[in-house]
Structure 1
């Protein structure tokens, strides 16, 4: 049995029913509320209910953390990503699913890296996934293969010199760009279908942020090698907004946000609740900025993490603000 709607074994049907009961508390948070959607999670973990549940709950936490539900309305990729990040949607496969092309060769990774933040890149890919069906990038496939379940591995095909013939097994020639062995062209006859697929190119240095933006930061600190710096923010009412901007000298820097679990006492970082996952940012190339909505009052701890660096200290320039809910709402209403 395929494990899809209408083709379930008795055990698979029972697993779906139990899965529905276990995630009942978060069902209304799902972007798609259907058996088709739930079965995708079960298939991804070979119908292991506990693993599927854990995976789904982590996904919902991730969506909440990055405000994915509003990303199509509230966020737009920077111009450099719109113009120079290669790839695009073009045609449909033989099963009727849209086909996404990631064109790696002409991509200018250094130019993109110097012109947009890591978060901009991540949000762009999330935005693509919200617009399009999920897609997998088979880059360095042999490195990640041991960590993929069998269901996912079956979705990936690594092809050789016969790649054009293999493509046509899955995509009809009339839906496949001519440059890739099909018959599809743009309306102007372009075999590359450039109105649908972007091919990147060298990013002009005028987009490089570090050289063109002069941000005045309120604070500057030096974090020793193997150390970190913690900044406490007291949030007195729900739905305050913590905003930050930072840049680093000497290399990348980790950044995350925690909330103290006990008020009025000193806590180790391991005793706090992490609310914004600590991630390493290339803030020595592109300044980082962002915000986090504090759903509950408390003591929030912004942590700059250099513990992974055993040789080099980092100088961090930063500005942090706490914005009251009514001021945040007013700012949103004033935006065009």
Structure 2
């Protein structure tokens, strides 16, 4: 097993020479690091001009390892070799350390570097890389790995504290300035100029030896530029990304470095990278895989241009009951509000299509990312998440329309894959009795970590002084319709008039436009009926208690729907096309010996109707879903007595799109008992 760690750059706002003086005070022992028992210098070499010194030490560590592990290893102390190369002219210190103990069983290598800050000559940067490879360790490989990670994290945190401590100790001793290195016979100012000239000459010589003066100079510049892009300042991480432990810091630096070397497109923001790492438990391989798939998706559908290129249709500006509030929650998160109970799901889908609904959802997510960046700048603290309030008052079975749920599943899928770790808190407010059904259908598609962020209120519980919305949001951020003071700049919602609907041919085309959309025809079947013709679907039920669910839309014309039952087996030739005359005839005509019984009374359905329902089969047998086409003008006396078409015009047709499921009682969770038990789910 191999582990690597790359720490972000840590900055000391102190000159390099002062930091070096503080660093030397750590030896031969360090009271700030108890496990550092002692050290001895094994070799020391200094150049003739005193500019470069190389010191090698043998360090003795009292590792905080379990007693059993020490007993098996047969040691009380662990020895490391440390090689320090101090270049006073270039103002750098390179520290290389590796383990002497158990070198054949595990390899620990660490490289640290102190150097001058590129933007401020009086500041000092510190970088640290580590490599751990465990070959074998008496069967305790996992324990040793955890111990090494724990020790590494502790060393990083303690390392900066130690230097800060000794810097302050020097100041307390009256030391305020340590001059830079000056070769004999040269003033300090001229030494700075000479150092710059020597650096330039040395770099030019190295480039000339490698690839030729011009070409290799460009290569070196690119490498330096590339390295500077992925290096992150620890102060920047704390200020813009939050409090991360050393391993988490290392993972984001590692991911950014990989992207800089392999990804030729624009690199996402550091906050964006952090979200994908969090979603995969800071596993770089899994986070990188998830991120790369998302980057391909964004490029394929030009998501980066969506906020500028896509403008919500007028129907959304008039009827979509959702938008961003002006304030923040108690965590500084932007707040999005949606009056889901007032949303005409079918109307929106029929008016803007699947593609429009997906673009609407993605636009909201993109706006959320922008608002998080704005909140980070305004509040001077990292804001990575946003909050959502879903007002469910008015939620009913019409919101459980199957095509709408199918689109919702796709939206959740897109959200989970491309916007991980963006939802900080979700409030479900004024949940009605039908809510458990919707939650049962939707919750399996939501990531477990996201589900933990849901806060559910039934009735008026959200207005309670303790545990209500005011515990999480200021009154100015709570909409007036929920008892707050905030004005909402978005519509109240309502039923969308059919005049806004897309034409039938366009709506059908929208159902499967591309990979970003959903092919609802794969779920629903369509059938056309003329006057007095039938379409019947036999459903064989083997066990009493089985639940039959049905959902259909009358896209055109009128029909009558009912459910029939017989104890006899019914077969309809599967080879007969749906539009053939055989299937336009009632089963009672094809099989006159059957004794059919109505288990659901006939339901008249007109153009545009949508019906959803369930039937619990109390007996085993064959249940028949029946649709009968009717003439919408046949009931008028005028038409029955004075018809002038004489059969020259084609009879009106009824088009029905339907879907049904057969579920066991365990599978069907949206039962009456679960609805009635919702009162016990209300929580603050």
Determine which of 474, 477, 489 is the counterpart of 1:172: 474
Matched, 1:95 2:397: no
Determine which of 334, 339, 342 is the counterpart of 1:106: 342
Determine which of 255, 273, 281 is the counterpart of 1:38: 273
Over the residues paired in the alignment, what is the CA RMSD in angstroms?
3.6
Matched, 1:55 2:290: yes
Q: Provide the rounded CA distance (Å) in 1 between the counterparts of 2:453 and 2:490.
A: 22
Structure 1 residue 129 displacement after superposition: 2.0
Residues 145 and 18 (structure 1), Cα distance of their counterparts in 2 relative to 1, 3 Å cut: farther
Are 1:44 and 1:149, in contact at CA under 8 Å, matched by a contact in 2? no
Determine which of 11, 19, 38 is the counterpart of 2:247: 11
Structure 2 spans left out of the alignment, 5+ residues: 1-152, 154-237, 370-385, 389-422, 429-434, 527-552, 554-576, 580-684
Higher RCO (CA-CA < 8 Å; seq separation 6+): 1
Are 1:83 and 1:200, in contact at CA under 8 Å, matched by a contact in 2? yes
Are 1:27 and 1:33, in contact at CA under 8 Å, matched by a contact in 2? no
Matched, 1:200 2:493: yes
Match of 1:163 in 2: 462
Are 2:355 and 2:517, in contact at CA under 8 Å, matched by a contact in 1? no
Are 1:111 and 1:202, in contact at CA under 8 Å, matched by a contact in 2? yes
1:133-163 C-alpha deviation (Å, 9 max, x unpaired): 4665779455554555554334332333422
Match of 1:210 in 2: 503
Q: Secondary structure at the match of 1:77?
A: coil
Q: Provide the rounded CA distance (Å) in 2 between the counterparts of 1:210 and 1:27.
A: 43
Q: Provide the rounded CA distance (Å) in 1 between the counterparts of 2:244 and 2:279.
A: 15
Are 2:324 and 2:334, in contact at CA under 8 Å, matched by a contact in 1? yes
Match of 2:450 in 1: 152
Structure 1 residue 104 displacement after superposition: 0.8
Structure 1 residue 73 displacement after superposition: 2.1
Q: Provide the rounded CA distance (Å) in 1 between the counterparts of 2:273 and 2:288.
A: 10
Q: Provide the rounded CA distance (Å) in 2 between the counterparts of 1:141 and 1:27.
A: 42
Match of 1:240 in 2: none
Residues 128 and 46 (structure 1), Cα distance of their counterparts in 2 relative to 1, 3 Å cut: same
Structure 1 spans left out of the alignment, 5+ residues: 187-192, 216-245, 257-275, 286-310, 314-336
Q: Secondary structure at the match of 1:114?
A: helix
Match of 1:75 in 2: 310
Are 2:358 and 2:517, in contact at CA under 8 Å, matched by a contact in 1? no
Equivalences, count: 222
Match of 2:485 in 1: 183
Deviation beyond 6 Å, 4+ runs, structure 1? 282-285
Choose 1 or 2 for highest CA Rg. 2
Match of 1:122 in 2: 358
- Using structure 2 for the length normalisation, give the TM-score: 0.29
Are 2:248 and 2:282, in contact at CA under 8 Å, matched by a contact in 1? yes
1:223-274 C-alpha deviation (Å, 9 max, x unpaired): xxxxxxxxxxxxxxxxxxxxxxx6649xx86454xxxxxxxxxxxxxxxxxx
Are 1:118 and 1:281, in contact at CA under 8 Å, matched by a contact in 2? no
Structure 1 residue 27 displacement after superposition: 7.5
Residues 12 and 176 (structure 1), Cα distance of their counterparts in 2 relative to 1, 3 Å cut: same
Q: Which moved more, 1:141-150 or 1:72-81?
A: 141-150
Residues 255 and 127 (structure 1), Cα distance of their counterparts in 2 relative to 1, 3 Å cut: closer
Q: Which moved more, 1:78-87 or 1:134-143?
A: 134-143
Structure 1 residue 39 displacement after superposition: 1.5
Residues 255 and 113 (structure 1), Cα distance of their counterparts in 2 relative to 1, 3 Å cut: closer
Match of 1:222 in 2: none
- Using structure 1 for the length normalisation, give the TM-score: 0.56
Are 1:255 and 1:281, in contact at CA under 8 Å, matched by a contact in 2? no
Q: Secondary structure at the match of 1:198?
A: coil
